[in-house]
């Protein structure tokens, strides 16, 4: 078993490979913490005017999605270092490398959250390629 790794804030612990479970590639299997729970609704590639960013471009959409997540987390006093779970909804699993690249720009490799990825037939608008929701735990006192 990989030993738990607490974050610098000591409010989150991540286990990438619990005993008897194959190590995750690019995510932690288990994350827990103490503090205030924050749920961020699924974010899509909309700018502040509600216009789609990067139509047909999974990388551009993913970067906008993570920017939207950053703004939502900040509104709750949280940051990507507090994220314990990400759920990815993609219209094609071929978009996952672009999503991971955008994620890796904002989340350090030693702070990877638990994650799930689901291919869906469609999102609520045909030009959208992905949606990402986040759960975070903010340390007490922040």
Domains parsed from the chain with CATH numbers = 5-138 (3.30.1330.40)
Phi, psi values for residue 118, rounded to 5°: -130, 130
Q: What percent of the chain has pLDDT over 70?
A: 94
Q: At what angle do helices 58-75 and 96-106 cross, to 10 degrees?
A: 40
Dihedral in degrees, nearest 10, Cα atoms 116, 121, 126, 127: 40
Q: Provide the pairing of β-strand 114-119 with 12-15.
A: unpaired
Gap between the terminal Cα atoms of the chain:
32
Predicted confidence at residue 142, as pLDDT, reads 81
Higher pLDDT, 72 or 141: 72
Predicted confidence at residue 82, as pLDDT, reads 96
**Dist CA 26 CA 16 (whole Å):** 9
Three-class DSSP category at 21: coil
Predicted confidence at residue 9, as pLDDT, reads 53
Predicted confidence at residue 66, as pLDDT, reads 98
Model pTM?
A: 0.90
Residue with tokens 């103490």: 34
Does the structure show a pLDDT above 50 at 57?
A: yes
Each residue's pLDDT tens digit, 3-35: 555 444 578 999 999 999 998 889 999 999 999
Higher pLDDT, 45 or 26: 45
């Amino acid at each position: 078993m990989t030993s738990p790794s607490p974050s610098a804030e000591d409010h989150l612990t991540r286990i990438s490979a619990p005993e008897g479970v194959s190590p995750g590639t690019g995510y932690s299997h288990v994350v827990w913490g103490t503090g205030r729970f924050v749920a961020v609704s699924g974010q899509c590639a909309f700018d502040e005017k509600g216009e789609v960013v990067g139509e047909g471009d999974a990388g551009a959409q993913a970067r906008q999605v993570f920017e939207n997540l950053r703004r939502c987390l900040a509104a709750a006093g949280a940051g990507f270092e507090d994220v314990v779970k990400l759920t990815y909804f993609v219209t094609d699993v071929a978009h996952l490398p672009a999503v991971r690249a955008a994620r890796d720009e904002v989340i350090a490799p030693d702070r990877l959250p638990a994650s799930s990825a689901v291919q869906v037939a469609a999102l609520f608008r045909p030009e959208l390629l992905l949606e990402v929701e986040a759960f975070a735990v903010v340390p007490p006192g922040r």
